[in-house]
């Protein structure tokens, strides 16, 4: 599926919890003592829906993330170098700045290496990567202090993960399919054979829009009636 289709389907999936919140007449849902706000998660769901295609250098997500990573690597790398020289020369104890800077540099290097080595529709389209991305939510639910800040952070990241999930589901209807169980299995799962950028994909996208509108209406009507 192309980027536009993924953004539409990501937005539609992000609309599901919103429909639920309208039906329940609640701004936020209590999950494990934290308030999660569906409205905040809608935009990250659209962004997350582009996420798995970072493995394509020419995709929207690929281009933006690569430029961001390049800037992050350069800035944090310069930061680590200058701080190390400064600490070496003056003996100042700036480790509380140097260590986070070095971790950020290491993470941006690892992510760059990962997306450069990733084959299209393989590593980033694995259910395992989605599971790893979802982990910060579980961590926050379990350990983070309850409050507005955590609630907003949870809403943003849960929305992003929902968008990422929508991408994998949408690609499952694509001709190539999705390696949900990679690296444990190299099998590509698919439910249909739509080819990216074709009339078939346009029909699939329109069908999803109608289907989701019906689901939203059903969710809201069931609660009201």
Contacts of residue 47, Cβ cutoff 8 Å, sequence gap at least 6: 10, 160, 163
Instruction: Decide: is 55 part of the binding site for Zn ion (CB under 5 A).
Output: no
Q: In terms of CB distance, is 77 or 127 closer to Zn ion?
A: 127
Give me the least distance between CB of 206 and Zn ion, in Å please. 19
Q: State the binding string over 86-105 for Zn ion (x if CB under 5 A, else -).
A: --------------------
Query: Which bin fits 146, alpha (ψ -120 to 50), beta or left (φ > 0)?
Result: beta
Choose the binding region for Zn ion from 28-36, 49-57, 190-198, 206-214 (rule: CB under 5 A): 49-57
- Which string of b and e fits 52-63 if b means at least 16 CB within 10 Å? bbbbbeebbbbe
Q: In terms of CB distance, is 34 or 167 closer to Zn ion?
A: 167
Choose the binding region for Zn ion from 32-40, 93-101, 165-173, 213-221 (rule: CB under 5 A): 165-173
Strands 29-31 and 34-36, how do they pair?
Answer: antiparallel
Give me the least distance between CB of 6 and Zn ion, in Å please. 7
148-171 vs 3-24: helix axis angle to the nearest 10?
130
Residues in the interface with Zn ion (CB under 5 A) total 3
Give me the least distance between CB of 61 and Zn ion, in Å please. 9
Q: In terms of CB distance, is 75 or 169 closer to Zn ion?
A: 169
Instruction: Decide: is 171 part of the binding site for Zn ion (CB under 5 A).
Output: yes
Choose the binding region for Zn ion from 31-39, 62-70, 92-100, 168-176 (rule: CB under 5 A): 168-176
Task: Give the C-alpha separation, 126 to 167, whole Å.
Answer: 11
| 60, HSE (Cβ side, Cα atoms, 13 Å) | 13
Task: Give the C-alpha separation, 4 to 46, whole Å.
Answer: 10
Where on the chain is the footprint of Zn ion (CB under 5 A)?
52-53, 171
């Amino acid at each position: 599926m192309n980027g536009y289709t993924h953004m539409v389907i990501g937005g539609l999936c992000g609309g599901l919890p919103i429909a639920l919140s309208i039906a329940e007449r609640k701004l936020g849902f209590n999950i494990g003592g934290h308030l999660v706000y569906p409205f905040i998660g809608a935009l990250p769901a659209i962004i997350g829906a582009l996420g798995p295609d970072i493995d394509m250098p020419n995709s929207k997500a690929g281009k933006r993330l690569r430029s961001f990573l390049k800037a992050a690597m350069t800035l944090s790398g310069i930061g680590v170098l200058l701080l190390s020289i400064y600490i070496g020369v003056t003996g100042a104890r700036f480790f509380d700045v140097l260590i986070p800077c070095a971790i950020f540099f290491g993470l941006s290097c690892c992510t760059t290496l990962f997306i450069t080595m990733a084959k299209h529709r393989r590593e980033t389209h694995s259910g395992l990567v989605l599971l790893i991305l979802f982990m910060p939510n579980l961590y926050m639910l379990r350990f983070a202090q309850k409050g507005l800040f955590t609630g907003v952070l949870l809403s943003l990241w849960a929305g992003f993960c929902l968008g990422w999930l929508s991408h994998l589901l949408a690609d499952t209807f694509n001709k190539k399919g999705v390696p949900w169980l990679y690296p444990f299995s190299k099998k590509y799962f698919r439910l249909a054979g739509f080819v990216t950028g074709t009339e078939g994909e346009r029909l699939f996208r329109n069908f999803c829009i109608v289907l989701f509108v019906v689901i939203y209406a059903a969710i809201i009507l069931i609660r009201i009636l």
